[in-house]
């Protein structure tokens, strides 16, 4: 307890900012209309391009540590699943590919596929905490991540970046911005990240079985057709070809796998945005199409012939997934530039998903002492899934006067899906869901503001696979219903101009109905490929807490920030699992924070120091094992002159050994006793990045 009091006392006196110094000028673009950060009526964290560049964030994964009440479930390579305020998926789905945290890149929906979120040539990242039922619908029960890449400029620009670091890191990046004419301009960016990873395979004698081999290509064109209309196009191909050799029997960073797997994702996306604006209204048409190939494979026994000797224990699993999505959306907005009290938006969207999965498992188990010899197994499973979502949405803003504004937003979504597989399982689920938001904002003064909001989010129902096993717990969990979340929120912010300090406070209380709870079971103790994830509905749950940001320029050369999230969660009234009633929800640390200091030593030199940390949390709703709390320290030493930027960075300066995820099951012959296995985060690593602007 004294440790926590000391920690928060320290954080209180060091109040810094990851935002720009001029708070009023920060523009939020992820909502229906562009607005300023201080006028947003929801809990929002914004990371600018300057923050990304100075802190040398290579991927959205690194940004998550700086956003309180945002967590992720580490997969074998990059995280694809995120939790906001304790709500969100933690594992690859067994059935319906639902998402609780929406993930948009340039208005293209990549929910559940956030692994390809490179942060090269990014304009800003916005993290919305709380349901976005009216803005996005079923994929944003807990919140939304919106990534905006840089648009083409009207002038020529080019730059290149090269990074060298330990663990064999060799990164290259380049961008070029070309105005083709007075009305057409284009931008091309390419980034390649290549390093060995942070694991060493002792059995194979290799240090690259968890390497990162990632390439991101993005092309954008902006065409100003005339004074009233414009057409924007974005195409990108992100190919993350990452081997995955992470899990170990002894929870170390040294693996023993004889057949390391892959955790790769190759995504291609096209986005088109047409806009026509007249005196009174703006008409928008947004179209996007994605095609993603995923290879997910792993050595299920985590060992080799020598480590398991005298037992034969050798299992491997590979899933090949192809997912295609398309989205067509129409929006009509009133022109907010007109001097009137009433503004509105009306829209319709059609979102489709087509996905196929092919899974192949093989294995062998033999006990030399039981006299039965070696048992071999091999299986193949294929599935096809498609869904269609039709949504009608709208929002109305009414200003009673210059200070008080009422906003009402609603969305009605009709979702239906079609699923069949090689086991002759067939599901045709459908749900009709409603979400929305009501907020009342009051500008107390020019520099202070409060808001009250009630928001309702939803997440579609679905089904579980693998229910053909003779197990009563599985039979009752074949299907589950939609989950609804009602969030009550109070926000206050104020900018103290004389002290150049900005304070933002949010209090929230979320009521979850038909809460979807993920549990797991291993059907055959001797076969790790029978490890299943199953979703079922609890009666209800609550999530409540506070989020605080304090940003200050202490002097002309010293600036600082504090971001703090406090969270309390509870599972309630769970008749089929009374043992979970009253317990905290999984992956929901009771506090998380980031704090940092920026010191301009001279006109050319700058030092950044930041700390981020989380309290312990339950790994799963299936067992009571928890992580340890941790604090990570990062530093950046920046030299900048003319066209050159040199950035020396160190991650996890004190080499903290911390865990991001844990499983509790048996994976060691012959007794297969339930054991806690943890997936640890990255150790200390460092490098130097050189950027040259032509």
Cis peptide before 310 (omega within 30 of 0): yes
CA-CA distance, 394 to 276, in Å (whole number)? 19
pLDDT per position as a tens digit, 90-99? 876 666 677 8
Number of neighbours of residue 654 by Cβ within 10 angstroms: 9
pLDDT per position as a tens digit, 397-442? 999 998 999 999 999 999 999 999 898 888 888 999 999 999 999 9
Q: Any idea which architecture 12-693 has in CATH? A: Beta Barrel (2.40)
- The confidence score (pLDDT) of residue 574 equals 77
Residue 461 near residue 430 (C-beta atoms within 8 A): no
pLDDT per position as a tens digit, 364-405? 999 999 888 899 999 999 989 999 999 999 999 999 998 999
- The confidence score (pLDDT) of residue 10 equals 43
Q: What is the DSSP string of 600-648?
A: E-SSSEEEEEEEEEE---BS-SSS--B---EEEEEEEEEEEETTEEEEE
State both tokens at 428. Answer: 């045709």
Strand order in the sheet with 101-105: 43-48, 122-129, 143-149, 101-105, 108-109
Query: Mapping DSSP to helix (H, G, I), strand (E, B) and coil, where does residue 10 land?
Result: helix
DSSP state of 150: P
CA-CA distance, 89 to 86, in Å (whole number)? 10
- The confidence score (pLDDT) of residue 339 equals 66
- SS3 of 386-429: the string is EEEEEEEEEEEEEECCCCEEEEEEEEEEEEEEEEEECCCCEECC
- The confidence score (pLDDT) of residue 515 equals 81
Domain ranges of the chain: 12-693
- The confidence score (pLDDT) of residue 471 equals 44
- The confidence score (pLDDT) of residue 337 equals 64
The list of the chain residues with pLDDT below 70 reads: 1-25, 75, 92-96, 337-339, 465-477, 519-526, 529-533, 539
Residue 112 near residue 73 (C-beta atoms within 8 A): no
Predicted TM-score (pTM) of the model is: 0.91
Question: Which residues, 6+ apart, have CB-to-CB distance to 371 below 8 Å?
Answer: none
Burial 386-414 (b: 16+ CB within 10 A, else e): ebebebebbbebeeeeeeebebbbbbbbe
């Amino acid at each position: 307890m004294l440790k926590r009091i000391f920690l928060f006392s320290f954080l209180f006196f060091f109040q810094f900012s990851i935002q720009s110094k001029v708070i009023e000028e920060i523009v939020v673009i992820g909502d229906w209309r562009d607005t300023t950060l201080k006028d947003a009526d929801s809990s929002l964290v914004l990371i600018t391009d300057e923050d990304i560049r100075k802190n040398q964030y290579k991927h959205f994964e690194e940004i998550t540590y700086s956003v309180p009440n945002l967590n992720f479930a580490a997969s074998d390579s990059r995280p694809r699943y995120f939790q906001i305020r304790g709500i969100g998926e933690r594992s690859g789905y067994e059935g319906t590919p639902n998402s609780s945290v929406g993930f948009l890149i340039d208005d293209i929906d990549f929910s559940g596929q956030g692994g390809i979120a490179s942060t090269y040539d990014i304009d800003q990242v916005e993290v919305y905490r709380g349901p976005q039922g009216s803005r996005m619908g079923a994929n944003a029960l807990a919140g939304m991540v919106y990534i905006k890449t840089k648009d083409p400029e009207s002038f020529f620009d080019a730059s290149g970046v090269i990074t060298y670091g330990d663990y064999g890191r060799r990164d290259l990046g380049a961008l070029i911005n070309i105005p083709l004419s007075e009305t057409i301009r284009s931008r091309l960016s390419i980034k390649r990240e290549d390093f060995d990873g942070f694991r060493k395979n002792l059995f194979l004698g290799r240090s690259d079985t968890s390497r990162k081999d990632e390439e991101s290509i993005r092309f954008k064109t902006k065409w100003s057709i005339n004074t009233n209309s414009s057409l924007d196009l974005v195409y990108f191909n992100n190919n993350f070809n990452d081997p995955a050799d992470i899990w170990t029997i002894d929870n170390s960073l040294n693996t023993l796998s004889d057949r390391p797997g892959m955790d790769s994702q190759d995504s291609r996306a096209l986005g088109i945005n047409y806009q026509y604006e007249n005196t009174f209204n703006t008409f928008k048409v947004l179209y996007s199409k994605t095609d993603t190939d995923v290879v997910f494979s792993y050595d299920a026994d985590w060992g080799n012939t020598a480590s398991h000797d005298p037992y034969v224990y050798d299992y491997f699993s590979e899933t090949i997934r192809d997912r295609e999505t398309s989205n067509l959306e129409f929006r009509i907005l009133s022109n907010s530039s007109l001097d009137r009290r009433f503004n509105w938006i009306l829209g319709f969207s059609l979102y489709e998903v087509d996905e196929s999965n092919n899974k192949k498992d093989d294995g062998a188990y033999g006990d030399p002492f039981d006299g039965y010899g070696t048992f071999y197994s091999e299986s193949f499973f294929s599935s096809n899934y498609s869904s269609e979502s039709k949504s009608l949405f709208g929002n109305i803003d009414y200003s009673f006067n210059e200070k008080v504004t009422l906003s009402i937003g609603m969305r009605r979504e009709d979702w239906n899906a079609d699923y069949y597989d090689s086991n002759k399982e067939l599901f045709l689920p459908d749900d009709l869901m409603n979400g929305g938001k009501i907020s009342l904002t009051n500008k107390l003064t020019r520099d202070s503001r409060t808001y009250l909001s009630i928001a309702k989010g939803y997440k579609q129902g679905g089904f579980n696979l693998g229910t053909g096993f003779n197990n009563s717990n599985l039979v009752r969990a074949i299907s589950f219903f939609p989950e609804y979340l009602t969030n009550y929120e109070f926000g206050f912010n104020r900018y103290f101009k004389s002290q150049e300090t900005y304070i933002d406070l949010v209090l929230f209380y979320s009521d979850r109905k038909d809460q979807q709870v993920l549990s797991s079971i291993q059907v055959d103790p001797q076969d790790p490929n029978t490890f299943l994830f199953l979703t079922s509905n609890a009666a209800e749950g609550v999530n409540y807490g506070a989020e605080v940001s304090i940003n200050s320029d202490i002097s002309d050369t010293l600036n600082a920030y504090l971001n703090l999230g406090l969270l309390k969660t509870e599972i309630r009234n769970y008749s089929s699992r009374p043992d979970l009633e009253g317990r905290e929800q999984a992956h929901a640390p009771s506090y998380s924070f980031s704090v940092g200091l920026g010191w301009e030593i001279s006109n050319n030199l700058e030092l950044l120091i930041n700390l981020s940390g989380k309290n312990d949390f339950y790994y799963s709703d299936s067992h009571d094992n928890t992580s340890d709390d941790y604090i990570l320290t990062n530093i950046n030493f920046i030299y900048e002159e003319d066209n050159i930027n040199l950035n020396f960075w160190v991650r996890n300066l004190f080499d903290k050994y911390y865990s991001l995820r844990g499983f509790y099951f048996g994976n060691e012959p012959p007794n297969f006793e339930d054991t806690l296995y943890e997936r640890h985060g990255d150790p200390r690593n460092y490098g130097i990045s050189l950027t040259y602007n032509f």
